[in-house]
Amino acid sequence: MAVWPRKRASRIYPAVSNWAHKKEPKLMGFAGYKAGMSSVMFVDNRPKAPTKGEEVRRAVTIIEAPPIKIAAVRLYGSTPYGLKAIGELWADGLDKDKNLLRKIILPKKRKTTLESLKAKLPHASEIRAVVYVQPENTGLGKKTPEIFEVAIGGTPQEGFNYASSVLGKEVTASDVFKVGEFVDAHAVTKGRGFEGDIKRYGVKLSQHKSEFGQRHRGTMGPITPAVCGWWVLQPGQMGFHTRTEHNKQILKISDPKTMPVTPVSGFSRYGVVKSTYILIAGSVPGARKRLVILSQPTRLFGGAVMQAPEITGVSMRSQQG
């Protein structure tokens, strides 16, 4: 039920519908491109781990995350039908960014000013920023950026002051997250196409003497009423769904000059990491080159920050062949 209906995502990068609210006025999320996976050696600092104090190996995901730009500030007011946008202000100088113009058409006449938008602040319940990434600074080789909304923490007044101070400027991953912090990873999963019951839902194979084959569910429902319920397992789309994985720890935020992470032959089907990157413990959803949005955790209990583990080595083994 948590992942129903299993239909294709409407776009190739995710839309975050639930943002965690923090007291600190800053962006509640960041984004980067999934370069691939590797492994690192670090000193285990988990207090209850059986390997505490020992050097262990852990699989990590490398997300290349160059600075993002703040394109606009948007105010939302509460209504009986949910949040509704009551005003927005776009930054000056966006017309000169040719890569951004590949994605959106900016309004030629902008009547909204910072003072007129501030007058609507008493009616606002949430402040969000419209941001876009800079893929030209990565090893992807693409130019068209993805543009999306990110919530801002603090009270509406504090959020508005922060948003107006960074409007039209760059924000780095270190400004949003701390090393050792837990985050939620949002992405569109790998597309598997049209699949049958067995692979799509893990249905057990029928016995070898089954009349109509082995790779199908047992029944589609009763004869009377002759209705097939929505809960009946049927073949269909598998993969390319918007999914969220909770509580992934950030092990490192660095750049290739300080700590290289690119394997000898480059990341398979990605290339070379050229900009700032984020090391995430474990795996995250999505294929290589796909945008991953990291946000403050919504289901974390007992503290969102741990002391960052000491990384002693990064695997540089070739991924080719």
Phi, psi of 239 (to 5 degrees): 85, 175
Q: How confident is the model at residue 12 (pLDDT cuts 50, 70, 90)?
A: very high
User: So what's the pLDDT on residue 240?
Assistant: 97
Q: In the numeric block, which tokens belong to residue 319?
A: 């991924």
Q: What's the pTM?
A: 0.93
Average model confidence (pLDDT) for the chain?
Answer: 93
Block residue for tokens 């016995």: 207
DSSP label at 208?
T
pLDDT of 203-251, one tens digit each? 999 999 998 889 988 889 999 999 999 889 999 999 999 999 999 999 9
Name the one residue in this structure whose structure tokens are 């699949």: 195
- Burial of 285 per CB tally in 10 Å (0-12, 13-18, 19+): buried
Domains and CATH numbers, the chain: 29-191+238-310 (2.40.30.10)
**Main-chain phi, psi angles of 9, to 5 degrees:** -65, 150
250-298 pLDDT per residue, tens? 999 999 999 999 999 899 999 999 999 999 999 999 999 999 999 999 9
The three-class DSSP label of residue 4 is coil
Confidence tier at 305 by pLDDT (50, 70, 90): low
Share of the chain above pLDDT 90, in %: 81
Q: How far apart are CA 173 and CA 252, in angstroms?
A: 11
| Residue 302 confidence (pLDDT) | 60
Average of per-residue pLDDT across 13-19: 94
Instruction: Report pLDDT for 196.
Output: 94
Where residue 321 falls among pLDDT bands split at 50, 70, 90?
low
Residue 1 has pLDDT above 70, yes or no: no
pLDDT at 307: 83
- Count of other CB atoms within 10 angstroms of residue 85: 11
